[in-house]
């Protein structure tokens, strides 16, 4: 599966001209809600009066209608007379505001002002886009530096955004009639998505205008597979300059976006307010093992798969609900716990970006996706909506983590998921290993990106500030806008310099709480009689020493471990050029097992693999691991298969019939016997060969290795003699014992084996 990061391009010279006069003048009803002042009202006492004016933009102070109402603080919001204040607007009539419709011409503007706060005056500039319904527009993309027109065509255009839609500088969505590589225009690349839908992000709350871009760059560095692309452009509505906007990807399934199966894959949006952010169809599953106190207000919008009429009872939607209902964050086992459903490495990467940015909205809107397949796990991303991140909020988020619920100190179900995951040793190890990898260079990386992106777009940003003054607060949430752009950039850098050390200390303390001084011994050559061999270090990070186990350099062998090893760990223990292959396919009418080499190395606890170390390993000691599984797994391509690949932790008795076993580079048939631990064997007598991506591993029999221990020694001679005398050795390879190739094992073969041993001794 390919998911691409988007390339950064210097594009401030681009302009997008939008002509909305082509819009059909059909009656369109516009409902405006939430004319309030958000959290800023909590700093004031008393009941303010809000005046809503409809002005005629063609006349000086031409107030067409006005209304004032007392606001009351109800359920965490200021509301007029205890009710949300609605204004309905459509073409056709002019009536009293509040309960009826009013006529709206393209030159009219809605204003909300509240005298109590220094005559705060909030204009709503419509840009001639009335609502969130698509209407027709003409778009031209101009490369001003080259004096050339790159695109000129009809598109659909509508408003977009939640909180942003209530500001004066609003966001929009473009929809082309055909797939368009909009972000690849002008830079000579073909590295961006080719898609119909694109967004114009206003960055109304972020006067630096680069916080969303910085978050995307951090996502790339941490390793998220998809990060929203960005270009800052000048926008003109009907020949009127409307400011600097960010052209960005629409969150959707597709190539160079979220590259998963569109028919069967899931694209989900977890939101923290059913009333404000929920969109049909949505679900409200009972995720186990987390704080459910916010459940009523937390829902998951289903963006994909699409269902007819957004039917919430569609079987596809029900299946997603049922899947989530199985997730239990209080269960730390591999077999039944949340790690069975959640990709912890994706979750860890996503959380690191959230915690670096300190996004105020970090746990109220989160995208997740899951590809097709019964055993597919839920992954996280892309990062979205970071305009209130990096300290751009009047509440101090410098010394907070997302697990605590940054938004008004309230936990959502998503922050509770984070909190529960950070109580799991396996997740914390994954989180800490990635953090230790990116943290040392992260402060300088962010500083360089802040400078790079700001410098590249300073002309467009300065022009924007002439229309939308940098000191003007668009949200009511920002703790005082910067007086100038230099200060706006300084605040980002200052936040990072204080916040990242805090994150580092917090993560380290959480991780260290899982560590134990216990050392666990695994003797691969002995049978273990305990049903829970690692229960003494359950959900702990410890050191594990493996006895009676060795791996030859540059030789394929089987391996199965009771703990995870990431790519860096595998290279540390088995050499920089170590290879790992997993069982992926059954071919040849059920006679050929095919293994695929991993591109990104990850050994999962309990899963059997083939491994090819690039250095010899004997009696390895693994430090800081979590023994997270008690019983090794059997891997089957389908549940009905008679063939499976089974791991072992300790010396194991192999079933006496219809069994094949893999040890070392040889693929040998057995009719019973034992196999050492930290290995794997094949269930299924039909298997005659195996391959690794075309590399034939069908074995060459080592003549004389009668007992199949990988060596030719006097023990093989004893085994052969016992066989001839009528006993049944626990391990006996007839092909290896047939030294002279006459399809029989006789004293002649004994003689040849003696001669071989004597010749080896002479050497």
| 474 in the same domain as 333 | yes
Mean pLDDT (whole number) for 625-645: 92
* 289 against 65, higher pLDDT: 289
Rounded to whole angstroms, the Cα distance separating 590 from 685 reads 10
Number of domains in the chain: 4
Which phi-psi region, left, alpha or beta, contains residue 128 (left: φ > 0; alpha: ψ -120 to 50)?
left
**Token output for 758:** 């004597």
**Token output for 270:** 């977890």
Q: Considering only 13-27, 181-195, 260-274, 541-555, which range has the smallest mean pLDDT?
A: 13-27
Rounded to whole angstroms, the Cα distance separating 335 from 53 reads 61
Tell me how far the alpha carbon of residue 265 is from its chain's centroid: 14
Between 458-467 and 442-456, two packed helices, what is the crossing angle to 10 degrees? 70
* 736 against 258, higher pLDDT: 258
Distant-in-sequence, close-in-space partners of 533: CB < 8 Å, separation ≥ 6: 630, 649, 650
State the pLDDT confidence band at 49, using cuts at 50, 70 and 90: very low
| 110 in the same domain as 136 | no
In the predicted structure, residue 400 carries a pLDDT above the cut 60 = yes
| 560 in the same domain as 503 | no
Does residue 750 sit in helix, strand or coil? Answer: helix
Percentage of the chain lying above the pLDDT 90 cut: 48
Where a domain ends, among 463, 494, 510?
510
CB atoms within 10 A of CB 192: 22
Rounded to whole angstroms, the Cα distance separating 170 from 29 reads 18
Where a domain ends, among 510, 528, 557?
510
What pLDDT is recorded for position 217? 97
In the predicted structure, residue 636 carries a pLDDT above the cut 50 = yes
**Token output for 214:** 């910085």
Where a domain ends, among 494, 510, 526?
510
The answer to the question of residue 21 being in a domain is: no
In the predicted structure, residue 502 carries a pLDDT above the cut 80 = yes
Hey, which bits of 536-651 come out as E strands?
Answer: 541-547, 550-551, 557-559, 565-566, 579-587, 592-597, 602-603, 609-612, 617-618, 621-625, 634-635, 644-648
Rounded to whole angstroms, the Cα distance separating 564 from 92 reads 67
The answer to the question of residue 478 being in a domain is: yes
| 535 in the same domain as 501 | no
**Token output for 223:** 């390793």
What pLDDT is recorded for position 59? 33
Number of residues in the chain: 763
In the predicted structure, residue 68 carries a pLDDT above the cut 50 = no
What pLDDT is recorded for position 191? 78
What pLDDT is recorded for position 702? 65
Mean pLDDT (whole number) for 27-42: 31
Instruction: Render pLDDT for 448-497 as a digit per residue (tens, 0 to 9).
Output: 999 999 999 998 999 999 988 888 766 556 666 788 999 999 999 999 99
Instruction: Render pLDDT for 152-187 as a digit per residue (tens, 0 to 9).
Output: 888 888 888 777 776 778 888 999 999 988 887 555
Range picked from 10-19, 581-590, 598-607, 721-730 for highest mean pLDDT: 598-607
In the predicted structure, residue 390 carries a pLDDT above the cut 90 = yes
| 426 in the same domain as 288 | yes
Domain region containing 468? 132-510
| 115 in the same domain as 93 | yes
The answer to the question of residue 494 being in a domain is: yes
Cβ atoms of residues 159 and 171 within 8 Å: yes
The answer to the question of residue 22 being in a domain is: no
Rounded to whole angstroms, the Cα distance separating 185 from 142 reads 10
Nearest CA among 669, 661, 571, 649 for reference residue 611: 571
What pLDDT is recorded for position 672? 59
| 146 in the same domain as 116 | no
Nearest CA among 741, 736, 742, 746 for reference residue 713: 736
| 290 in the same domain as 232 | yes
| 405 in the same domain as 372 | yes
Q: Considering only 161-175, 538-552, 560-574, which range has the smallest mean pLDDT?
A: 161-175
What pLDDT is recorded for position 704? 84
| 467 in the same domain as 400 | yes
| 233 in the same domain as 192 | yes
Instruction: Render pLDDT for 320-345 as a digit per residue (tens, 0 to 9).
Output: 999 999 999 999 999 999 999 999 99
Mean pLDDT (whole number) for 2-14: 36
What pLDDT is recorded for position 152? 82
* 171 against 607, higher pLDDT: 607
Residue with tokens 């916040």: 499
What pLDDT is recorded for position 296? 64
Cβ atoms of residues 300 and 270 within 8 Å: yes
In the predicted structure, residue 611 carries a pLDDT above the cut 80 = yes
Average pLDDT of the chain is 79
């Amino acid at each position: 599966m390919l998911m691409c990061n988007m390339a950064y391009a210097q594009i401030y010279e681009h302009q997008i001209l939008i002509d909305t006069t082509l819009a059909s003048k059909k009656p369109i009803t516009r409902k405006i809600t939430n004319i309030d002042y958000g959290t800023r009202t909590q700093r004031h006492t008393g009941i303010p009066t809000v005046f809503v004016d409809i002005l005629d933009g063609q006349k000086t102070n031409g107030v067409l209608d006005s209304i004032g109402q007392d606001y009351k603080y109800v359920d965490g919001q200021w509301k007029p007379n205890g009710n949300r204040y609605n204004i309905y607007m459509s073409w056709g009539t002019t009536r009293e505001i509040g309960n009826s419709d009013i006529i709206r011409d393209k030159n009219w503007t809605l204003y909300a002002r509240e005298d109590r706060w220094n005559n705060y005056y909030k204009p709503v500039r419509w840009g001639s886009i009335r609502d969130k319904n698509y209407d027709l527009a003409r778009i031209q993309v101009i490369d001003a530096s080259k004096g050339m027109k790159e695109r000129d065509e009809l598109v659909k255009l509508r408003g977009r955004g939640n909180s942003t839609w209530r500001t004066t500088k609003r966001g929009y969505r473009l929809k082309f009639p055909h797939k368009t590589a909009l972000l690849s225009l002008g830079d000579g690349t073909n590295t961006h998505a080719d898609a119909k839908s694109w967004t114009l992000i206003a960055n109304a709350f972020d006067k630096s205008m680069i916080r969303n871009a910085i978050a995307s760059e951090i996502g790339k560095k941490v390793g998220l597979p998809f990060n929203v692309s960005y270009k800052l452009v000048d926008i003109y509505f009907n020949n009127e300059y409307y400011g600097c906007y960010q052209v960005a990807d629409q969150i959707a399934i597709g190539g160079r976006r979220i590259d998963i199966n569109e028919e069967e894959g899931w694209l989900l949006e977890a939101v923290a307010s059913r009333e404000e952010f929920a969109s049909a169809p949505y679900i409200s599953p009972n995720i186990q093992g987390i704080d459910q106190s916010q459940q009523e207000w937390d829902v998951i919008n289903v963006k994909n798969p699409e269902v007819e009429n957004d039917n919430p009872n569609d079987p596809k939607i029900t299946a997603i609900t049922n899947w989530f209902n199985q997730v239990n964050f209080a269960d730390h086992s591999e077999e039944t716990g949340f790690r069975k459903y959640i990709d912890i490495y994706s979750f860890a990467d996503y959380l690191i970006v959230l915690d670096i940015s300190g996004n105020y909205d970090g746990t109220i809107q989160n995208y997740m996706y899951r590809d097709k397949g019964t055993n597919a796990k839920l992954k996280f991303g892309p990062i979205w909506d970071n305009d209130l991140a990096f300290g751009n909020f009047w509440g101090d988020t410098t010394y907070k983590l997302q697990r605590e619920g940054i938004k008004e100190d309230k936990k959502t179900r998503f922050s509770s998921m984070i909190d529960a995951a950070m109580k799991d040793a396996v997740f914390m190890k994954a989180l800490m290993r990635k953090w230790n990898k990116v943290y040392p260079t992260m402060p300088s990386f962010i500083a360089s990106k802040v400078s790079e992106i700001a410098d590249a777009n300073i002309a467009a940003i300065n022009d924007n500030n002439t229309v939308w003054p940098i000191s003007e607060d668009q949200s009511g949430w920002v703790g005082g806008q910067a007086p100038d752009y230099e200060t706006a950039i300084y605040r980002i850098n200052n936040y990072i310099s204080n916040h990242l050390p805090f994150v580092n200390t917090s993560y380290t303390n959480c991780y260290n709480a899982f560590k134990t001084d216990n050392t666990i011994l695994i003797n691969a050559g002995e049978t273990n009689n305990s049903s829970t061999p690692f229960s003494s270090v359950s959900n702990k990070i410890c050191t594990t020493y493996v006895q009676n186990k060795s791996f030859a350099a540059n030789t394929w062998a089987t391996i199965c471990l009771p703990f995870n090893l990431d790519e860096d760990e595998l290279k540390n223990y088995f050499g920089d050029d170590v290879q790992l292959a997993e069982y992926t396919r059954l071919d040849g009418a059920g006679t050929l097992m095919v293994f695929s080499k991993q591109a990104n190395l990850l050994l999962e606890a309990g899963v059997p693999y083939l491994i090819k170390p690039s250095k010899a390993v004997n009696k390895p000691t693994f430090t800081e691991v979590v023994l997270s599984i008690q019983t090794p797994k059997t891997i089957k391509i389908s549940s009905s298969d008679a063939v499976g690949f089974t791991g072992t932790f300790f010396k194991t008795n192999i079933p006496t019939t219809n069994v094949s076993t893999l040890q070392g580079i040889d693929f040998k048939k057995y009719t019973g016997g034992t196999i050492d631990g930290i290995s794997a064997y094949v269930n299924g007598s039909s298997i005659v060969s195996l391959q690794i991506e075309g590399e034939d591993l069908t074995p060459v029999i080592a003549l004389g290795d009668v007992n199949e221990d990988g060596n030719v020694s006097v023990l093989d001679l004893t085994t052969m003699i016992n066989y001839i005398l009528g006993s049944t050795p626990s391990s006996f390879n007839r092909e290896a014992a047939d030294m002279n190739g006459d399809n029989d094992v006789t004293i002649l073969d004994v003689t040849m084996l003696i001669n071989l041993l004597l010749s080896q001794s002479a050497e």
